[in-house]
Amino acid sequence: MVAVVADSAANIPEPVARELRIGLVPMYLRFGDEVYRDGADLTPADFYDRLVRDRVLASTSTPSPGDFLEAYRATGDTEVVCVTVASMMSAVHQEATLGAERFDGRVEIVDSKSASMAEGFVAMEAARLASNGASLERVAARAREIAGRTTLLATVDTFEFLRRSGRVTKLQAYAATMLDIKPVFRFHGGEVSPVARPRTRSRAVRRVVDDTLAEIAGRRAHVAVIHAAASDDAASVMDRVAAGADVVERAIVAVTPVIGAHTGPGLVGTAFYCDEPENGSGA
């Protein structure tokens, strides 16, 4: 049977990862001289408490090739599909590839072209197909297909953390002219693009909902609402999307600290893809 592995930036809920037999490779989070494994050593609540209360700047780093090699071996299988966070945002894809070169078996590395549950959906769909006995080639092809159809729409409460991360230069120019804004952005096909820059959070959240429904456009949709210490907003977004769309799979997911380190608390957004082939909406 083909095994599926993903990095922790995929934000796959632990019960789902266990049910689908998805191996998760932790990324690393650094507070000063302290290093934590993402999703394993520090809860989101503790992380945001330190980030805000202590005003400690957190940084992140990728798993090593050895970490990925260990994860491949831990599956007990000789054929593995590994789904990674977008290669344009991180060196994870490269590290996973180097680990695969040392594995005594076959590994297909799939660039999810996104992050959080937009990456998670890619791994989950691959694992479902693998559980039905599909070949390595078919599982990898399905993962790449879903990667091309997932979209992430989100807003952050402050641009400061994204600015510090230095990974969204296109958004920096867009947001730099206004101090008090709640930028809305879209992540699709490996590209982050600005959507809007409303001045109030309520308008930003409404834009996320409206654009999500517009892109789904009446199709059957798999939707996750992601958030960073914003569970009430996340629940509201899910209710509004579910009321306006045919949602066949849903989840509300608190992003792991390695995502929150780049967005700060207050992130809320949607990650989704549709069952039907694309019809020009870009979903």
Pair 222, 245 in one domain? yes
Looking at 124, 147, 170, which one is the last position of a domain? 147
0.85 exceeded by pTM? yes
3-class DSSP state for residue 66? helix
Pair 169, 142 in one domain? no
Average pLDDT over residues 123-134: 98
Pair 91, 184 in one domain? no
Looking at 147, 168, 185, which one is the last position of a domain? 147
Q: Is the pLDDT of residue 100 over 90?
A: yes
Looking at the domain assignment, is residue 57 inside a domain? no
Looking at the domain assignment, is residue 97 inside a domain? yes
Local confidence band at 62 (pLDDT 50, 70, 90 cut-offs): very high
Average pLDDT over residues 138-151: 98
Instruction: Name the strand (E) or helix (H) holding 249.
Output: strand 246-254
Pair 93, 137 in one domain? yes
Local confidence band at 19 (pLDDT 50, 70, 90 cut-offs): very high
Local confidence band at 247 (pLDDT 50, 70, 90 cut-offs): very high
Pair 16, 132 in one domain? yes
Pair 123, 172 in one domain? no
Looking at the domain assignment, is residue 44 inside a domain? no
Q: Is the pLDDT of residue 201 over 50?
A: yes
Average pLDDT over residues 88-94: 93
Task: Note the pLDDT of residue 269.
Answer: 98
**For the chain, percent of residues with pLDDT exceeding 90:** 70
Looking at the domain assignment, is residue 46 inside a domain? no
Local confidence band at 278 (pLDDT 50, 70, 90 cut-offs): very low
Local confidence band at 133 (pLDDT 50, 70, 90 cut-offs): very high
Looking at the domain assignment, is residue 96 inside a domain? yes
Q: What residues make up the domain containing 72?
A: 3-27+62-147
CATH code: domain of residue 223: 3.30.1180.10
Pair 137, 16 in one domain? yes
Provide φ and ψ at 148, rounded to 5°.
-80, -10
Q: Can you tell me the distance from the alpha carbon of 105 to that of 12, in angstroms, rounded to the nearest whole number?
A: 25
Looking at 147, 169, 201, which one is the last position of a domain? 147
3-class DSSP state for residue 184? strand
Local confidence band at 265 (pLDDT 50, 70, 90 cut-offs): confident
Pair 206, 115 in one domain? no
Pair 14, 92 in one domain? yes
Pair 82, 111 in one domain? yes
Average pLDDT over residues 95-115: 97
Which ranges in the chain belong to alpha helices (H)?
14-20, 44-53, 65-74, 92-101, 116-131, 136-147, 160-165, 169-175, 201-216, 231-244, 257-263
Looking at the domain assignment, is residue 243 inside a domain? yes
**For the chain, percent of residues with pLDDT exceeding 70:** 88
Pair 268, 142 in one domain? no
Q: Which tens digits make up the pLDDT trace of 215-234?
A: 999 999 999 999 999 999 99
Number of domains making up the chain: 2
Q: Is the pLDDT of residue 277 over 70?
A: no
Pair 171, 251 in one domain? yes
Task: Note the pLDDT of residue 263.
Answer: 84
Task: Note the pLDDT of residue 39.
Answer: 79
